[in-house]
């Protein structure tokens, strides 16, 4: 029988670090531009979780309000990112990151 400890701040920090790591690895290994983009969003949300966990530990509202700023920034990034992805996919349907090889040297 495993005794489940009451979750502490550390649990959330570790979860956030793991999520961030998943995002980092995803950006490095995945090839679909949309999935790359989702991995970046995952990283930002991992940071949000860190902020909230830290804010709870510190008893400070600042970290929680920061999350709203990050959400707005992420939304703005979505708008621009999807715009660029759509522009590329319209020109070259089904393009992956490996197909984007006009620029090299």
**Among candidate residues 76, 67, 22, the one with its CA nearest the CA of residue 47:** 67
**Residues 66, 17, 1: CA angle, nearest 5 degrees:** 120
Helix axes 62-91, 33-58, angle to 10 degrees: 180
**Which residue number, 4 or 103, has a Cβ lying nearer to other proteins?**
103
Q: Would you give the DSSP letter of residue 104?
A: -
Cβ 47 to other proteins shortest distance, Å: 5
**Which residue number, 4 or 45, has a Cβ lying nearer to other proteins?**
45
Which residues contact other proteins by CB under 8 A? 13, 20, 23-24, 27, 33, 36-37, 40, 43-44, 46-47, 50-51, 53-54, 57-58, 60, 62-63, 66, 69-70, 73, 76-77, 80-81, 83-85, 87-88, 91-92, 97, 100, 102-105
**103 phi, psi to nearest 5 deg:** -105, 110
**Which residue number, 6 or 90, has a Cβ lying nearer to other proteins?**
90
């Amino acid at each position: 029988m495993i005794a489940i400890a009451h979750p502490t701040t550390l649990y959330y920090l570790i979860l956030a670090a793991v999520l961030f790591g998943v995002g980092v690895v995803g950006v490095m290994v995945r090839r679909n531009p949309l999935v790359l983009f989702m991995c970046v969003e995952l990283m930002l949300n991992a940071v949000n979780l860190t902020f909230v966990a830290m804010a709870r530990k510190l008893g400070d509202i600042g970290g929680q309000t920061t999350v709203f700023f990050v959400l707005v920034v992420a939304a703005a990034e979505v708008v621009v990112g999807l715009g660029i992805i759509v522009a590329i996919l319209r020109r070259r349907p089904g393009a992956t990151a490996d197909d984007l090889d006009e620029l090299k040297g």
